[in-house]
Structure 1
Amino acid sequence: MNDRDTTTTRSGTVRVGMVDDHQSPVWGIERILERQEDLALVGSAPTVAELLAAHSDLDVVILDLRLNDGTTPRENVNTLSEHGIVTVVYTSGEHPDLLRSAARAGTLGVVLKSASEEEILSAIRAAASGEEVLTTEWAAAIDGDPNLDAVDLSPQLQRVLTLYASGGTSASVGHELGVAPDTVNEYLKRIRQKYVDAGRPTRTKLDLFKRAVEDGWLPMPHRGRGD
């Protein structure tokens, strides 16, 4: 954890947090913000949970897309939103599926790690004001997903999908949820039908895994870090 003395933050200053499990991007943002009178980086952590444990009164969180704790962008944006904190995704831009996952949860936008200082500062200030951070990458991520809101799964169906797509069986998923295997099979039929209706067929278990990743229910498999 990298903390600053939060007691010295000026009234009216936007309190910024950062979640990244690599330290160099944090140092870069710290350097950019230290000269700004209206913005202050008050803390950073490798996970959302650790950041919130130390700082629950943040205004904006700069969020890396791929974290080693196995969380999805959707989960992280939702968690921060529940605490009244808006997010800006900070990424190399190589994973549009992850960007769409964050979009589904309501992040205000994305800024590339290669962006200029002016673009980064503008994005943070816009998000702090509740405005969307409009960039070409953000528009491409959203426009490239015509089914962004087409599949709406209840919490129970989400749980069935993630457990089954992660390698579970109808019996093991049923045991985990306290329902019969036949009930799990009915849930799976319902999930598949929802994707069929959205024009995204899921005939096999691999298809279900792909849909779970695409929609942010499961993290993208790691193939070496690019973010």
Structure 2
Amino acid sequence: MIEVTERPIRVFLVDDHRATLWGLERLVGTAQRMQLAGSATSIAELLASPESREADVIVIDLDLGGHDSSDSFAELLSTYGAKVLVLTGARDLDAHRRAVLAGARGVVRKEEPVDVLLRAIEKVHEGDVWVNRALIGDIMNMLTGKKKAAAPDDARIATLTPKEVEVIGAVVRYKGAKSLVIADDLGISEHTLRNHLTAIYHKLEVHGRLELYLYAKERCIGTVAQ
């Protein structure tokens, strides 16, 4: 009987403090089930790194040189198939909310034990969301309130093409599954899937797959695309 070896989780690290980055590189490099894909000290360096495109999970600090990295999450999510996990020293819950609404799959505080970070990487890679329950409830309330105050949903939904509705249905069915799983189900490439998602995010005014999933579930869009 041939034993199948599970592929390690490829992790790319982004932090502008080199001492912190050094420690994270060694933590991930020695962790079971994980492999260091690479590291960067800025968004520009991340985007320029060929290794980043091979990552399964991108662990990124919110504050990069005084700039909020969550402003770049939409670009990262449309360019990469990796999931984004925020590692931050900030205690500002508003910043945590913005990060998740921008597409991050989880938030870990730097003061937490290292095993929490490693567990979060594993869970995010598996498709789960790593945030505390209070924050999840708060985010859902924010989304509900924001959508009620926004322009009529029916007008935005009406702009979707049949294929885009089909893509949303697959996102709902497969929840936090990898892009490859959703693309295979739809019979398209991951690149084409990312293009569809970018158009959908723009039309529905959502930021990332988590917000799209919540938006579609609330409005039963996923049940249409069967």
Q: Which residue of 1 aligns with 2:22?
A: 27
2:115 partner amino acid: E
Which one of the candidate residues 105, 124, 130 is aligned to 1:108? 105
SS at match of 1:25: helix
Q: How many angstroms does 1:85 deviate by?
A: 1.5
- Compared CA separation, residues 70 and 13, structure 1 to 2 (3 A): same
How many residues are paired up?
140
Q: How many angstroms does 1:90 deviate by?
A: 0.4
**Sequence identity, in percent?**
31
Q: How many angstroms does 1:126 deviate by?
A: 0.8
Q: Which residue of 2 aligns with 1:218?
A: none
Q: Which residue of 2 aligns with 1:89?
A: 86
Q: How many angstroms does 1:52 deviate by?
A: 2.5
Q: Which residue of 2 aligns with 1:36?
A: 31
Q: Which protein shows a greater Rg?
A: 1
Q: Is the 8 A contact 1:103 1:142 kept in 2?
A: no
CA RMSD of aligned residues (A): 2.4
Distance across 2 between alignment mates of 1:72 and 1:111? 15
Q: Which residue of 1 aligns with 2:11?
A: 16
2:94 partner amino acid: D
Distance across 1 between alignment mates of 2:75 and 2:66? 14
- Compared CA separation, residues 141 and 120, structure 1 to 2 (3 A): same
Give 1:52-67 correspondences, 5 Å limit. Answer: 52-54=47-49, 55-67=52-64
Give 1:70-89 correspondences, 5 Å limit. Answer: 70-73=67-70, 75-82=71-78, 83-89=80-86
Distance across 1 between alignment mates of 2:103 and 2:65? 22
Q: How many angstroms does 1:69 deviate by?
A: 6.3
Distance across 2 between alignment mates of 1:43 and 1:119? 21
Q: Is the 8 A contact 1:100 1:148 kept in 2?
A: no
- Compared CA separation, residues 22 and 96, structure 1 to 2 (3 A): same
Q: Which residue of 2 aligns with 1:47?
A: 42
Q: How many angstroms does 1:22 deviate by?
A: 0.8
SS at match of 1:33: helix
Deviations 1:113-135 (A, max 9, x none): 1121221111001111111114x
- Compared CA separation, residues 71 and 93, structure 1 to 2 (3 A): closer
Q: Is the 8 A contact 2:11 2:28 kept in 1?
A: no
Structure 1 residues not aligned, in runs of 5+: 1-9, 154-227
Q: TM-score normalised to the size of structure 2? A: 0.55
Distance across 1 between alignment mates of 2:13 and 2:69? 16
Distance across 1 between alignment mates of 2:143 and 2:69? 16
- Compared CA separation, residues 53 and 11, structure 1 to 2 (3 A): farther
SS at match of 2:64: coil
Q: Which has the higher helix share?
A: 2
Q: Is the 8 A contact 2:58 2:82 kept in 1?
A: yes
Distance across 2 between alignment mates of 1:100 and 1:20? 20
Q: How many angstroms does 1:109 deviate by?
A: 0.8
Q: How many angstroms does 1:142 deviate by?
A: 4.1
Structure 2 residues not aligned, in runs of 5+: 152-226
